[in-house]
Amino acid sequence: MILIKLRRIVYKAIICLALFFSPIVIQADETLWDLEKSENGILVYQRTVGDSEYKETYGVVRIESSMDSLVALLKDTGSYESWMYNCSYAVTVEQINDKDRIDYMIFDSPAFISDREVYIYSSFNYNGETQKVTIELESKDHHGDHKYHKGGNVQIVDLKGYWSFNEIASEIVDVRYQIYSNPEVFFVSATDSNMVFSVFNTLNNMRKIVKQATYRDTNIQYKIP
């Protein structure tokens, strides 16, 4: 009996390792994207968007974590400063319902360029058939409560993206972060390069912080109909 249990444990461990190190599933539209960075298990792509000067960016990474932990991290707005690249301030200004909310965020800019601020409307969705979590992101022009606005910052009013979490095995999740933003700066090429760096570092930081006990030991009800 002990030998049988041991074999089952070893077999499960082998399957998990095989899934963790297997290639991340690439979607059909990947031919429209250019691979800009591949490092440390993180892939970052970009593509042109209509007549915009700025490119859209997305990154994918396989993280050893539970869905609960990742969802808890995204719901913890106060943590963004510690792992979301260049985010210096983040607060939820309105919790509309269990799925929808509005956050206010500030992102540091290089010297001689004003910091950027943005109101982001996020919508949480869980697909029971695919066992997939998606958090849609979209900028809002303003919010009724202006007390969060910092003088001298430039507001981003053209931002769209999403997070998706797809659990492919127990404690193994494929994470995708896609973002388009128009920061209204003249250095377009440098801005696009910075977005590659931003997405890469955000995913790399997420992979580390989600292992903290605060998120690792959480058990939340994210499977909202």
| Sign of the C-alpha dihedral computed for residues 64, 67, 68 and 71 taken in this order | positive
CATH code of the domain containing 52: 3.30.530.20
Q: Does 7 map to a domain?
A: no
Q: Give the residue among 5, 21, 24 at the shortest CA–CA distance from 166.
A: 24
pLDDT, one tens digit for every residue, the chain (225 residues): 444 443 443 334 343 444 444 444 444 355 589 999 999 999 999 999 988 999 999 999 999 999 999 999 999 999 999 999 999 999 999 999 989 999 999 999 988 889 999 999 999 999 988 889 999 999 998 766 666 677 789 999 999 999 999 999 989 999 999 999 999 888 899 999 999 999 999 999 999 999 999 998 887 766 654
Q: Give the 3-state secondary structure percentages of the chain, helix then strand then coil, rounded to 5.
A: 30, 35, 35
Give burial (CB, 10 Å; 0-12/13-18/19+) of 27: exposed
User: Phi/psi zone of residue 41: left (φ > 0), alpha (ψ -120 to 50 degrees), beta?
Assistant: left
Bridge partners (DSSP) of residue 60 are: 43, 176
Q: Which domain holds residue 191?
A: 27-216
> Which amino acid, 87?
C
Q: Establish if 131 belongs to a structural domain.
A: yes
Residue 89: the pLDDT is: 95
Any domain includes 22: no
Asked whether residue 16 is assigned to any structural domain, the reply reads: no
What pLDDT is attached to residue 66?
93
Q: Is 224 within the bounds of a domain? A: no
In a domain, 84, yes or no: yes
| Domain presence at residue 61 | yes
Residue 85 lies in a domain: yes
Query: For residue 162, what pLDDT is reported?
Result: 98
Distance in angstroms (rounded) separating the CA atoms of residues 87 and 91: 11
Per the CB < 8 A criterion, the answer to whether 68 and 222 are in contact is yes
Q: With CA atoms as reference, report the closest residue to 82 among 210, 178, 219.
A: 210
Q: What is the domain count for the chain?
A: 1
Helix (H, G, I), strand (E, B) or coil at 102: strand
For residue 31, the model assigns a pLDDT of 58
